[in-house]
Chain A
Amino acid sequence: MNALLQYPGVTLAIVMAVSLLLWTVISMFSSAWFFPSPLATAQAIVKLTLTGELPHAIFVSYFRILTGWLIGCLLAIPLALVAGRTPIIRAFVEPYINFFRFVPPIAFLGIAILWFGIGEGSKIAVIIYTSMFTVFMNTIAGAMAIDETPSRAARSLGASRRQVLLKVVLPQTVPAIVVGVRIGMGFSFMSVVAAELIAAQEGVGFLIYNARLFMETSNAFAGIIALGLMGLIADRALQAIARRLFASHPLPF
């Protein structure tokens, strides 16, 4: 069996074949509106693609996720780096973090709608909140755990505190930051769908919720498959970019 490990394509093919088979068998014992078959789902994907509903929903959700996630990363990384290296700043920031980490992003949706309106603003705000936390926690943990020796070396080579932070601490924290932004991206997907389920007129989450309302269960399945693929593609793209940007860093993938 372990010989299969050398052929990741084969294991993937087996997983897909078994899933499709199980899915088909289960759907045979049920009706299409309750548990649609792979074929019905495929038909729904084609139909929704041709009408443009699915591509539009994907575009809208991607836009919300990537905008919110990017802003969240840009806010969290510098703050976490400084807080990780400056105990006094950390002491003032940590109580907020420790309090709000138990408040799920979706709990803020109602308030976000009140503050930022029913449109894109409220969804993006929720994503920013989501990704900021994950990225902040990972970056601060990374910045606190780094080896001090390179920083000392840099200072004895004439680097200022600012240069040490940007040229030594930041590169040392890169692996932790990359892990943080990856996990943050995953959580952003969850948040956007939750937000779209509750209050939206478009997006993949809305498409899934709407399908349920009209008992078009195959459309909901199509939306779920689209979400899985969207996440997979985004994660792979992120990995590829990270490997390119940080070719000389030891990355955990």
Chain B
Amino acid sequence: MAQESRASACPTSEAQILIRAAPAMQHAASLQQMEKPLVELISVNKTFPGNRRTGGDYCALDDANLQIKKGEFFCLLGPSGCGKTTLLNLIAGFEAATSGAVLVDGQAVTGPSPERGVIFQTDRALFEWLTVAQNVGFGPGVRGLSDLQRDQRVEEYLKLVGLVDHHSKLPRELSGGMKQRVQIARALANEPEILLMDEPFAALDAYTRGHMQREIVRIWQATRKTVLFVSHDIAEALWLADRVGIMSRGPGSRVGAIVEVPLPRPRAKMTTEFVELFNQLSELVDAAAVGRYA
């Protein structure tokens, strides 16, 4: 019974998934010879069980495939409710895929890991009872680094995000932009391989957002992390990303077109190339926003 309802929620039946998985595997194998992706999603389905109120199961992701290269800034673009956060949560290890494979460095993701730092949209993600320095030192602390090493990391990354002077403040004493800087420093203090950013600047005002966008590119260039940045803002994706993946509207969304952004950095101005890419992305987003089952 559960199987039936799941099948109806996700039109791709399990048999089809198996058939699809085979070429995906071959594709992965051929890629391995060139450049092994750091993050790889193969035929990922994610279905949330329904309850009495919502009725049937909800299929958030249906046959989603994605490859992110080491060191690149990848932006996942799509309308609200298209499953961007679900996809990020799968890579973060907060949730498990219903079927398919989520691989990081060739290993299946089984849960959260300090190798995958997460920056949340909401500033409630900060530990509001700890100072800025204690927030940033949390990761090194729970992982058993010495106090000296921890303090060095705290200083290093507070310096990187420009918050050294605020180390003894509580989060509630900071502005929205500063709180997101603390989140970035806190994730970086673990020196993770990957940064997963879930619309981290969506709640900021336009001026602060622009400033933080330049800051995150600077931090990315300084640390050379692999970044997965989730956004619903086309211009933001173009300012930041090496490649942009466009997600279709849910239910049953997947990563559709992938667009390279060949704009030179720093991307400070609205050049003709920028506007052309913007229009191109707009059309792709509009086409994807219709939804697969509409």
Task: Name the interface residues of B133-176: CB closer than 8 Å to any CB of A.
Answer: 138-139, 142-143, 170, 172
Question: Are B139 and A150 neighbours in the complex by a CB distance under 8 Å?
Answer: no
- Measured CB to CB, the closest approach of chain A to B217, in angstroms, equals 23
A164, B186: Cα distance in complex, Å: 16
> Which of the candidate stretches B2-10, B69-77, B109-117, B251-259 sits at the interface with the other chain?
B109-117
| Contact (Cβ within 8 A) A155 B111 | yes
Task: Establish whether residues A152 and B127, one from each chain, have CB atoms under 8 Å apart when the complex forms.
Answer: no
Whether A155 contacts B125 in the complex (CB less than 8 A), given A149-B120, A160-B142, A248-B130, comes out as no
B126 at the interface (CB under 8 A from A): yes
Contact status A156-B130, CB under 8 Å: no
Pair A156/B142 contact, Cβ less than 8 Å: no
Residues of B within 8 A of A (CB-CB), count: 30
Known contacts A159-B142, A248-B129; decide if A150 and B124 are in contact (CB<8 Å).
Answer: yes
Chain A, 231-248, CB within 8 A of any chain B CB: 246, 248
| Interface flag for A250 (CB, 8 Å) | yes
Minimal Cβ-Cβ distance residue in A for B92:
A156
Residues in chain B near residue A22, CB distance under 8 A:
none
B128 in the interface (beta carbon within 8 A): yes
Q: Are A156's CB and B170's CB within 8 A?
A: no
> In the complex, which range does the number of interface residues on chain A fall in?
20 to 34
* Cβ A152 vs Cβ B125 within 8 A: yes
Q: Which of A150, A158, A159, A171 has the most CB of B within 10 A?
A: A158
Evaluate whether A149 and B124 lie within 8 angstroms (CB atoms) in the complex, with A155-B111, A158-B143 already known.
yes
Q: Is A249's CB within 8 Å of the partner chain B?
A: yes
Using A150-B124, A158-B114 as known contacts, say yes or no to A249 and B143 having CB atoms under 8 A apart: no
Query: Does residue B48 face the partner (Cβ distance < 8 Å to A)?
Result: no
Interface assignment of B93: CB less than 8 Å from any CB of chain A: yes
A154 to B128, CA, bound (A): 13
Least Cβ distance of A183 to chain B in Å?
22
Q: A156 contacts which of B114, B122, B131 (Cβ < 8 Å)?
A: B114
Across-interface contacts of A43 in B (CB, < 8 A): none
Known: A154-B142, A160-B142. A249 touches B114 (CB 8 A): no
How near does chain A come to B173, taking the closest CB pair, in angstroms? 10
B139: chain A residues at CB < 8 Å are 157-158
Chain A residue, CB-CB nearest to B111: A155
| Highest count of chain A CB atoms <10 Å: which of B116, B124, B186 | B124
Question: B127: which A residues are within 8 A, CB to CB?
Answer: 150, 153-154, 168, 171
Q: How far is the CA of A152 from the CA of B187 in the complex (A)?
A: 12
Known: A150-B124, A167-B142, A249-B129. A156 touches B186 (CB 8 A): no
User: Which residues of chain B from 51 to 109 have a CB within 8 Å of any chain A CB?
Assistant: 92-94
Interface residue? A200 (CB, 8 A): no
Q: Which A residues are CB-close (under 8 A) to B172?
A: 250
Q: Given the known A-B contacts A156-B118, A167-B142, are A150 and B112 also in contact in the complex, defined by CB atoms under 8 Å?
A: no
B171 CB to closest chain A CB (Å) equals 10
Residues of A within 8 A of B186 (CB): 153, 157
B248 at the interface (CB under 8 A from A): no
CA A155 to CA B114, docked complex, whole Å = 8
Q: Give the distance to chain A from B229, nearest Cβ to Cβ, in Å.
A: 16
Partner of A150, one of B126, B142, B170: B126
Q: Which residues of B contact A159 (CB under 8 A)?
A: 138, 142
Residues in chain B near residue A137, CB distance under 8 A: none
Alpha-carbon separation in the docked complex, A171 to B131 (Å): 13
The one of A149, A167, A249 that contacts B125, using a Cβ cutoff of 8 Å:
A149
Q: Are A153 and B190 in contact (CB under 8 A)?
A: no
A167-B137 Cα distance, complex, nearest whole Å: 13
B124:A147 contact, CB within 8 angstroms: yes
In the bound complex, CA of A171 to CA of B128 (Å): 9
Closest chain A residue to B94, Cβ basis: A152
| Contact in complex: A157, B138 (CB < 8 Å) | yes
Binary contact track A154-176/B, C-beta < 8 Å → 1, others 0: 11111110010001100110100
Excluding A250-B128, A250-B172, 16 further A-B contacts by CB distance (< 8 Å) are A150-B125, A150-B126, A150-B127, A153-B118, A154-B127, A155-B111, A156-B92, A156-B113, A156-B117, A157-B114, A158-B142, A158-B143, A163-B142, A167-B142, A174-B129, A249-B129
The 9 nearest A-B residue pairs measured at CB: A158-B114, A157-B139, A155-B112, A156-B112, A159-B142, A156-B118, A149-B125, A158-B143, A153-B125
Q: Mind listing 9 A-B residue pairs with CB under 8 Å?
A: A150-B128, A153-B120, A153-B186, A154-B138, A154-B142, A156-B117, A157-B142, A157-B187, A250-B128
